[in-house]
């Protein structure tokens, strides 16, 4: 465990019994990941064909095309329009592209600022997107919103202007005012961070912010800058909603404490953003495993990072001291891929249950504290569904420098829930030998029996760089495939939930029976909402 890493206690009951809300949250995240991966593919395709006549497309056209492809594939979420909050989307969530709002059901218009739905013989507004294109304004939880239609000479000089009509979105907003029906407000904060040094970062490219529910307070009709009549709506934010970075900015330059609070908040939101695409950093090492893993594990840092990776030998299997003698393994006699679960000796050891499904993912996150996989002494082939973790890493991972926790690991590809991610490997020693170790460091993990431990100080794999989180996305499972010894199983990490590309990997250092030893720092920097703030071991 890195010196700057920290430990906290996770509330496990919600992790293992996901609510409907958490399921929707996962589906929304997956829709966003699917959209961005498809967008990158289309952008690459059109850039490659840019020399061919008629092949060149604007980014806006590609964004809409990606969204429409997903719609045809039935990959949109929250497809039914509704008034109020959208399942799986929280106040304060940020988004990179306008088209993403369509894909997840937050706002179903590609260009129009007002979205609405039929309500009986009338209509109600569901959401508005507030941009700086018109005379819109926001201050202290109040939105001044100019209605739809009429043209805008400040955007297009050759447009012909006319009076706005009380129809479509404008009528829906008026109906919402009369019915006191809430409206979702999405703000596009292009100039939000002007004057705030800690947050004025060019890489901060997620301008659309869901600012929560508002009520339409008043509607007036007056002459706009074009000289034509426009509808001006005043919306006020409903109280007792989660505060967003927009709200914190108010008065930020007048108070040093507020300024620090705003900086910390926005940095945290960027870290936890649903986009989580891998930033373009400098590749320092192309493969720290030197070809030992199925995929290269690269080391990336920012241009100005001078910290070096600690020296260690990369291994793909535990190293056992001479004290440990492996018992003679007894495998199954299956020659048909272990399809007969009742007769398979390995399945019998698993209580007659299949530990993995047909996609070679955990059948259950709750059951099987110890998993018996088929191994070298079994007669089944390597394609057997009961051989998962022994095949090594199946996803592209990379090591990067975190903001507060030292080195960390993130995924470059989408990892489905319950998939095997990586092992935690090192030198396995007894307590007797551990007591005489002069170079004892912060990379020590007790094994489940409490009598032995894994030391990854000198030898280890990518698992040694995975940080703690009070709300993790990985979980430990004990797996054995080479012997019948329950004392010395492998410690394997599986995905606790769907993990989008670019997301940092983490697990709860206290969630397994084994615990880390001699942690020099007791402060937790995981930045999760459930963060306990302190070490609890």
pLDDT average, residue stretch 266-275: 41
Banded pLDDT at 489 (limits 50, 70, 90): confident
- Architecture per CATH, domain 78-271, reads as Roll (2.30)
pLDDT, one tens digit per residue, over 63-97 is 999 999 999 999 999 999 999 999 988 888 888 89
Beta bridge partners of 516: 445
Cβ count within 10 A of residue 5 = 27
> What are the structure tokens assigned to 356, written together?
């993995």
467 vs 68: CA distance, rounded Å: 38
User: For the stretch 32-41, what's the b/e string if a residue is b when 16 or more beta carbons lie within 10 angstroms of its beta carbon?
Assistant: bbbbbbbbee
User: What residues does each domain of the chain span?
Assistant: 78-271
Task: Tell me which of 421 and 9 has the higher pLDDT.
Answer: 421
Confidence (pLDDT) at 403:
84
Q: Which residues contact 529 (CB under 8 A, 6 or more apart)?
A: 471
Closest CA to 98 of 56, 131, 147: 131
Confidence (pLDDT) at 247:
56
Task: Tell me which of 77 and 526 has the higher pLDDT.
Answer: 77
Burial class (CB in 10 A: 0-12, 13-18, 19+), 289: buried
Confidence (pLDDT) at 296:
93
Q: Is residue 110 over pLDDT 50?
A: yes
Most confident of 107-121, 270-284, 507-521: 107-121
Banded pLDDT at 265 (limits 50, 70, 90): very low
3-state class (DSSP) for residue 303? coil
Confidence (pLDDT) at 121:
86
105 vs 76: CA distance, rounded Å: 8
Q: Is residue 483 over pLDDT 70?
A: no
- Mean pLDDT, rounded, of the chain: 77
pLDDT average, residue stretch 494-501: 90
3-state class (DSSP) for residue 34? helix
Banded pLDDT at 206 (limits 50, 70, 90): confident
Give the rounded percent of residues in the chain with a pLDDT score beyond 70: 72
| Cα 53 versus chain centre, distance | 39
Confidence (pLDDT) at 501:
84
Task: Tell me which of 476 and 431 has the higher pLDDT.
Answer: 476
Pairing of strands 282-285, 114-119: unpaired
Task: Tell me which of 393 and 13 has the higher pLDDT.
Answer: 393
Task: Tell me which of 219 and 512 has the higher pLDDT.
Answer: 219
Q: Is residue 279 over pLDDT 70?
A: no
Cβ count within 10 A of residue 50 = 9
Banded pLDDT at 16 (limits 50, 70, 90): very low
pLDDT, one tens digit per residue, over 144-203 is 999 887 665 454 445 567 888 899 999 999 999 999 999 999 998 654 433 333 333 333
Confidence (pLDDT) at 69:
95
3-state class (DSSP) for residue 371? strand
Confidence (pLDDT) at 170:
93
pLDDT, one tens digit per residue, over 294-316 is 999 999 998 888 888 989 999 99
Task: Tell me which of 388 and 4 has the higher pLDDT.
Answer: 388
pLDDT, one tens digit per residue, over 329-341 is 678 888 877 888 7
**Could you give the residue ranges of the DSSP H alpha helices within 317-472?**
345-349, 431-435
Confidence (pLDDT) at 316:
95
Closest CA to 168 of 107, 116, 220: 116
Confidence (pLDDT) at 54:
57
pLDDT, one tens digit per residue, over 214-244 is 999 999 998 877 778 889 999 999 887 777 6
Most confident of 407-411, 440-444, 451-455: 407-411
Q: Is residue 367 over pLDDT 80?
A: no
What phi and psi, each to the nearest 5 degrees, are found at residue 491? -100, 110
Q: Is residue 13 over pLDDT 80?
A: no
């Amino acid at each position: 465990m890195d010196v700057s890493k920290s430990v906290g206690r996770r509330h496990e009951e919600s992790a293992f019994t996901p609510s409907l809300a958490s399921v929707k949250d996962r589906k929304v995240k997956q829709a966003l990941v699917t959209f961005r991966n498809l967008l990158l593919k289309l952008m690459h395709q059109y850039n490659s064909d840019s020399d061919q006549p008629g092949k060149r497309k604007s980014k806006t056209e590609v964004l809409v095309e990606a969204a429409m492809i997903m719609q045809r594939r039935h990959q949109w979420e929250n497809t039914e329009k509704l008034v109020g909050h959208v399942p799986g989307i929280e106040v304060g969530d940020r988004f990179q592209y306008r088209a993403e709002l369509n894909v997840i059901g937050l706002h179903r218009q590609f260009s129009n600022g007002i979205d609405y739905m039929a309500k009986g013989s009338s209509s109600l507004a569901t959401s508005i997107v507030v941009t700086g294109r018109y005379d819109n304004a926001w201050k202290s939880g109040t939105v001044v919103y100019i209605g739809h239609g009429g043209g805008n000479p400040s955007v297009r000089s050759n447009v012909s202007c006319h009076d706005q009509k009380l129809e479509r979105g404008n009528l829906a907003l008026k109906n919402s005012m009369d019915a006191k029906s809430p409206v979702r407000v999405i703000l596009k904060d292009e100039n939000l961070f002007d004057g705030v040094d800690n947050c004025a970062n060019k890489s901060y490219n997620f301008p659309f912010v869901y600012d929560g529910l508002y009520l339409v307070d008043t509607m007036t009709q007056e002459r706009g800058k074009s000289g034509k009549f426009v509808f001006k709506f005043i919306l006020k934010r409903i109280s007792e909603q989660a505060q967003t970075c927009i709200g914190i900015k108010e008065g930020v330059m007048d108070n040093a404490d507020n300024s620090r609070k705003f900086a910390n908040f926005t940095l945290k939101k960027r870290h936890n953003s649903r986009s989580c695409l891998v930033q373009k950093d400098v590749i320092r090492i192309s493969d720290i495993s030197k070809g030992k893993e199925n995929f290269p594990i690269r080391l990336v840092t920012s241009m100005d990072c001078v910290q070096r990776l600690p020296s260690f030998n990369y291994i793909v299997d535990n190293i056992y001291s001479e004290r440990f003698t492996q018992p003679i393994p007894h495998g199954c006699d299956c020659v048909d891929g272990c399809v007969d679960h009742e007769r398979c000796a390995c399945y019998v050891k698993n209580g007659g249950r299949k530990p993995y499904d047909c996609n070679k993912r955990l059948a259950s996150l709750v059951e099987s504290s110890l998993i018996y996989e088929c191994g070298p002494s079994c007669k089944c082939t390597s394609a057997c569904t009961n051989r998962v973790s022994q095949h090594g890493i199946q996803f592209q991972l990379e090591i990067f420098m975190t903001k507060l926790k030292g080195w960390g690991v993130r995924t470059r590809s989408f990892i489905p829930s319950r998939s095997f991610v990586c092992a935690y490997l090192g030198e396995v020693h007894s307590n007797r030998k551990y007591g005489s170790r002069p170079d004892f460091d912060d990379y020590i993990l007790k094994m489940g029996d409490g009598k032995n431990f894994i030391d990854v100080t000198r030898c280890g794999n990518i698992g040694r760089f995975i940080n703690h989180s009070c709300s993790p996305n990985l979980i430990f499972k004990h797996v054995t495939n080479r012997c019948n010894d329950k004392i010395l199983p492998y410690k394997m990490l599986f995905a606790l939930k769907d993990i989008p590309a670019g997301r940092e990997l983490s697990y709860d250092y206290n969630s397994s029976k084994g615990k880390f030893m001699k942690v020099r720092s007791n402060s937790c920097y995981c930045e999760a909402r459930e963060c306990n703030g302190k070490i609890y071991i």
